Structure formats: C-alpha cells, structure tokens
Structure 1
C-alpha cells in the first residue's frame, strides 16, 4: 500500500487541534453595526477611549464577542490601538482629502463599468435601490440614509461586476463615516446630493459611461467640499480646520 502524500497526515491520525466552536456571527454583526452607528453619529466621538468593561455592561454582551467586533472595526480603520487600549480613530484633514480623492476615482470607474457590463437584472436592481434611496432622502433618518446609500453603491458595484471596488469603497466610507454624516445632515447638501444621484442614475440607464463617470466623481467632490469644511467642533485632527 502506498504511503499518504507528503504533507498529509496519516490516515486516522489526529491533526492536533480541538473542535471548532460555534461562531456568534449574528450577534457580532449586530454589535459591529451598533458601534459603527455610534461612531458615525458622533455618540462615540473621535479620540474617545473605549473601556471594554463599560461597553460589555451597557451593551449586555460578552467580552469575547465585544473583542471580535472591536477587532473588525480596527481593521476598517474606525478604531486605533494605543498605549491605553483602543480608541475611536482621529482622521487628519490630509487623510480625509486622500480618501475622498480615491473614492471619487473608484466611483467614477464603477459607474463606467456599470454602463459597460450591467445586464437587465442589474438595471432593475439599481432602479429599485434608487427608489428606496429617494424615499429615505424624503422621510428617513440620517442613519437610514447612510444605510440606503451603502445599499445603492453596493448594487452599483454588483452591476459593474467589480467586487474589488465594492470592498474598497466599503472600507473608505467606513473611515469617513462621521464626515459623511455631517455632510448629509446639511439640508442644502442633502438636496443637492439627491439631485446628483438622480442625474447619475439617468446616465447609468442610458449607458453613457463618460457622463456617468464624470457625475459620480463630481458627486464625491461636492460631498468632500462640505465634509471638509465643518464647524469648529469638527473631529479632524488638524489645527488648520480649527482656524
């Protein structure tokens, strides 16, 4: 009888590892969403240190699940580790400008690819996401609007057949979540944003790649102008923003 292939354990032998425990994924996802919303709305402000014991007590979760959620938020760049533990990340103006610049390029690329690649099902999905987004613009809360915009852009990336762009956009938007909240909380910006999205969707349905890409980039640039010129109590860690 021939020997097992090199690198494979002999038949019947132990791998030397214990059983895999059941993952508390649904609870962790809910906890991540809750903490992300607290950061987006400023209830957990930039620079605030997180005390695990206090969070476990207030959120009624185990320290194990909390740490899993905190690690995920740290990977997304919303939290940073320091000598005294984790704290909410403080974004410099230069970092924010770079994130918006990269986001504009990615959204322009995705819009162009959608025009080239989207099938009828993708167009229908985008139309449905647009209808929901318009509804939320009218009657939804700020957190509902952020969620609806996230769904809209995920639908756009799916139709563009570019999951890489979708993943990158999720991470970039997580980094500037509080700035996006402030931008959309401005009534004038909210109205302009809705009109910009309407024009973008029209170009996407017409499969006008050049126009769609340009509109997507302008939409991000307009949001950046509002977000990067916040009131004096802004979270940006740059003395210039406080002058």
Structure 2
C-alpha cells in the first residue's frame, strides 16, 4: 500500500510556523516590536519573506500594525473572555456529536494524542504538547462532522495557543488539563455525550480561571 507523499513546506511556511510559535510561547513578548531585519537574520530568510509572514500573522490577530511598526498583539481581558466563550460553545457541541460517531479507532487515536500530550508536558516541552492538543481537537471536530466549526477554531488557534501555553506552563494544569481530556475521551468512548459535554465545560472553565488570572 503506497502512502501519500506529503507536500514539502515552502520557506515561507517554515518561517511562518517558527514566527507564530515564537509568539505563542512568549519568546516574542506581547507588545514587543517585530524588527524585520533582525527576524530575517535569525530565521535566515529575506525581509520580503518576513514581511509576508507578519501580514499573515496580522490576519490571525497575533500581530498588530502600529505607527511604530508591527508589534506582538496584546490580548485584552474581554478578548480572552470571548475566546473562551466561543471555545465553550463549539468544543462542547463537538464532543457531544463525537460521542455519537466515534469508533474504536477514533478513541485509540484520541488516546494516542493524549498520551503524547502527557509525555511532552512531563518533558517540559509545552510547544510540542500544544501541537498534539491541536490534533486532538481536530480529530474530535472532524469525527463530529463539524469541519466548518473547526475552520473557525483553527483560525483562533494562534490566540488559543497563547492562552494554552500560559495555562499549561503552570504546575496544576500539567496534571488537571490531561486528566480533564481523559474524562472527555472516556465519556466519548461510552457514547455518553452529555457527560462528555460536562467534562469539556469543566476543562474550559478551569482553563479560563487560570488564564484570566495569569493575564
């Protein structure tokens, strides 16, 4: 059986991923000015590529263009509240439908992602844990048949990732976060949509309480 050949990433795509992650994990701090020349030298790409990446990140609301140039966007409290409220509406509905559709293979896939999340958190590699968290939720949304909703969530993932990185970097969430995800999986496996929704809501509520206090 032949495997699908993955399309190689372009220079811009690779640079964009690195620049986005630097913002998500706080290497580039909120309010920090983005100097094209300096970033280009660090990434080994032209200023043109950096400029294109910055424009893309502006569309994701990770970068703000000011009179002094591009800056890392500062998330305001009200914006954080809205993001968590949107997560609650979409993710809870996704786990509800996922519980109706999930097969044994899907449950194993979700468990595999969660195992990777736990491993990376225990290793202190929060960035990798975030990557597996994105795959975890994508699997839930796709299984639920909510691909349009996933597109909306995925567009928010840069800002969601910034909040997740902060919360997952705290001692308590390293244990509580994965435990909540395990509860979601267990209830999806039982086909218990309502219990899965309750577990999802608890997970988001706890993350919000931590995130808003860290803001």
**Does structure 1 residue 201 correspond to structure 2 residue 196?**
no
Match 1:48 to one of 29, 32, 43:
32
Residue in 2 aligned with 1:171? 155
Residue in 2 aligned with 1:152? 136
Structure-to-structure mapping, 1:79-158, within 5 angstroms: 79-158=63-142
**Offset at residue 153 of structure 1 (A):** 0.9
Residue in 2 aligned with 1:4? none
The number of residues matched between the two structures is: 208
Larger radius of gyration: 1
- Contact 2:121/2:129 (CA < 8 Å) preserved in 1? yes
Match 2:52 to one of 59, 68, 75:
68
Match 2:166 to one of 144, 166, 182:
182
Residue in 1 aligned with 2:212? 228
**Offset at residue 136 of structure 1 (A):** 2.4
Match 2:14 to one of 19, 30, 34:
30
Determine helix, strand or coil for the equivalent of 2:64: strand
- Contact 1:130/1:152 (CA < 8 Å) preserved in 2? yes
Determine helix, strand or coil for the equivalent of 1:81: strand
Deviations 1:67-106 (A, max 9, x none): 2222221111101112222111111101111111111111
- Contact 2:102/2:189 (CA < 8 Å) preserved in 1? no
- Contact 2:114/2:178 (CA < 8 Å) preserved in 1? no
- Contact 1:115/1:208 (CA < 8 Å) preserved in 2? yes
Structure 2 stretches lacking a partner, 5+ long: 1-7
- Contact 1:129/1:155 (CA < 8 Å) preserved in 2? no
**Offset at residue 154 of structure 1 (A):** 1.2
Residue in 2 aligned with 1:210? 194
TM-score (norm. length: structure 1): 0.79
Structure with greater helix share of residues: 2
Determine helix, strand or coil for the equivalent of 2:191: coil
Cα distance in 2, alignment partners of residues 58 and 208 from structure 1: 49
**Offset at residue 198 of structure 1 (A):** 0.9
